[in-house]
Every structure is written in C-alpha cells, then in structure tokens.
Amino acid sequence: MPRNIKDLFDMTGRTAIVTGGGTHLGAAMATALGQLGASVYLASRRAQLCEEVAAGLRSEGIDATGLGCDATDERQVESLVGTVMADHGRLDVFICNAGGSFTTSYPPDASVREFRDTLEANLTSTYICGQAAGKAMIPARRGSIITLGSIGATLAMDIRIYNERFRRSGPPYLAAKGGVLNLTRAFAAEYGQYGITVNCVSPGQIPKDTTDAGQVETFRLMNALQRTGVPDDLVGAVALLASDAGSWITGQELVVDGGWSIW
C-alpha cells in the first residue's frame, strides 16, 4: 500500500545542515526543514547571527543550533559535520547554500581576484561541503545533498534591465553557479550507488529588503507570474528534495524563478 503523502514529507528524527543559514534564503530553508521535524544546524561565518536565528526557531519548538563555519575551510566543515554526528549519530540533509556575488567590476576591466574569490565562495565551498556530507552519509547509505544554483547557472544577465543603484552579478558569479550545477550532476553520479541524492535548486530573483524598489519592480515584471519572489518560495522545492518524497530524484536542477527563464 502506498505511503501517506504526509508521511513522505515528515522529517522527524532527521538532521540537517544549512550553510549560510543565518540570513535570507538559508534562514527560510532551515526554518522549513525544522517545521517538518528535522533538527537543524544553521552555520556561517557569522556565528552570532546564526545562533540568533536558531534561538528564534527554538522559541517555536524547533530543535535548532547556530554555529560558526567557513564553508571554504575543509577543517571547519568537517568539524561542523562531526558536531552533528556526535549529537545525533546521523546526517540526513546538507544544504550547500553558502556563497554570494562580490562583483564590483565588469569586463573588459573586471578583477581576476574577484573571479577567484567568487569561485572559492560558491563552487569550492560546494565541493568541500559535498565531500564532507558524502563521508557522513555513505555508511548509512542514504541522505540528501542540495546545492544552490541560480538562473545565472544557465542564463547570462541581461544588463539592460539593471539600474545604476543595483549591483548586478557579473561573469564570475555566473561561471561559479554554472560550475555548481554540473558539480551537482557529478556528485549525483558518484553517490547514487550509496542511495544518496544530490540535486540543485536554482532560484530566480529573490530581492532582499534593502534592494532598490525600482529594481524590485523590474524583477517582478520580468517573470511570468508577475509577482516578487520571496525566500519562502524556495521551501517547497527544498522540502521535496530533502525528504522521502524526492527519494527517486537525483542529479537534477529545480528552477524556482516564477517563469523568468521561459522566455
């Protein structure tokens, strides 16, 4: 008899790590996993912020812990995973969310240093986290690794739509996210034999509260649904890929962009 659909999304007794978990998309994804019953660990370089968010989740009855971790540092990521294993003896979900865009210059005068830093923050961090997660999950022969891509993983930026008050992502970010997408497929190929799924969630434009209002309106009009994306728009995709509901999905990119990429 098929399992109840609600049971497929139930994550009671499971553990999850979300890097970059203290703000914006990371905080929303961590909250969602906690609401499904998982014990969540929010980690970033900003340890105090992660713990503040975790404290808020605990006040809602969610088992949440905030920790400091530089996702580009192998030892720190391995220590983070070790903490979860020591606390619970299992790691079920690792969301590789740490990263960002650091663009201040554009071709043909773009900074090579910025290119290297952007690859390090987005692609190298995902590589490090994916390996650390795999080591913990392989003995259990199960687990879900979720990477964070972007519509920029497969699309170039239309520079005509950005106003001067908005610092758009440049080629380094697009190159890094393109790498994350294919790294996801590579990890899926390596880990599939152990029952571990690896998938990429690629968000569209989800502005922060500080984003220029005129630019937010342009973003709204650029997607087919013609509404502004918010962090909670990602949580359904993450719930699917992190839970048993997505146990036969691996090596895939799930684009969550309001239809931005259909034209």
- Report the pLDDT value the prediction gives residue 102, as an integer from 0 to 100: 85
Residue 261 domain-assigned (yes or no): no
Pair of tokens at residue 172: 């380094």
Q: Cis omega before residue 207 (within 30°)? A: no
Query: Which of 198, 258, 197 has the alpha carbon at shortest distance from 232?
Result: 258
- Asked if the structure places residue 212 within a domain, the reply is yes
Lowest-confidence region among 4-8, 64-68, 130-134, 244-248: 4-8
Residue 260 located in a structural domain: no
Query: Is the CB of residue 203 less than 8 Å from the CB of residue 257?
Result: yes
- The whole-angstrom separation of Cα 141 and Cα 196 is 7
H/E segment holding residue 120: none
- Tell me the CA distances in angstroms from 130 to 133, 137, 172, 178, one per residue in order: 5, 10, 21, 16
The residue assigned the tokens 């931005």 is: 260
Interatomic CA distance for residues 242 and 260, integer angstroms = 24
Residue 22 lies in a domain: yes
R_g of the chain computed on alpha carbons = 18
Strands lying side by side in the sheet with 39-44: 64-68, 39-44, 15-19, 93-96, 143-148, 196-203, 253-256
Predicted confidence band of residue 1 (pLDDT cuts 50, 70, 90): low
In a domain, 55, yes or no: yes
The first and second tokens of residue 68, run together, are: 């400091």
- The whole-angstrom separation of Cα 93 and Cα 129 is 11
> Which pLDDT score is estimated for 234?
97
Looking at the chain, list the stretches that DSSP marks H as alpha helix, in order from N- to C-terminal side. 5-9, 24-35, 47-58, 74-88, 112-119, 125-137, 171-191, 213-222, 235-242
- The answer to whether the beta carbons of residues 251 and 211 sit under 8 Å apart is no
The pTM of the full predicted model, rounded to 2 decimals, is 0.96
pLDDT at 143 over 90: yes
3-state secondary structure of 11: coil
For residue 3, pLDDT beyond 90: no
Mean pLDDT value across residues 222-250: 97
Average pLDDT of the residues in 182-189: 98
Cα–Cα distance measured from residue 128 to residue 80, given in angstroms and rounded to the nearest whole number? 12
Q: Is the pLDDT of residue 165 over 90?
A: no
The CATH number linked to 102 is 3.40.50.720
Q: What percent of the chain has pLDDT over 70?
A: 99
pLDDT tens for each residue of 131-141: 999 999 999 99
> How many domains does the chain contain in total?
1
Q: Can you give the residue range of the structural domain that contains 13?
A: 5-254
pLDDT band with cut points at 50, 70 and 90 for residue 103: confident
Q: Find the length of the chain.
A: 263
The rounded Cα 71 to chain-centroid distance in angstroms is: 12
What pLDDT is stored for residue 247 in this prediction?
97
For the record, the structure tokens of 200 come out as 């990429």
Q: For residues 220 and 158, give the distance between their C-alpha atoms in angstroms, rounded to a whole number.
A: 15
Do the domain assignments include residue 259? no
Per residue in 29-63, pLDDT (tens digit) is: 999 999 999 999 999 999 999 999 999 999 999 99
Residue 30 falls inside a structural domain = yes
DSSP 109: S
The rounded distance, in Å, linking the Cα atoms of 143 and 198 is 9
Domain-located, residue 35: yes
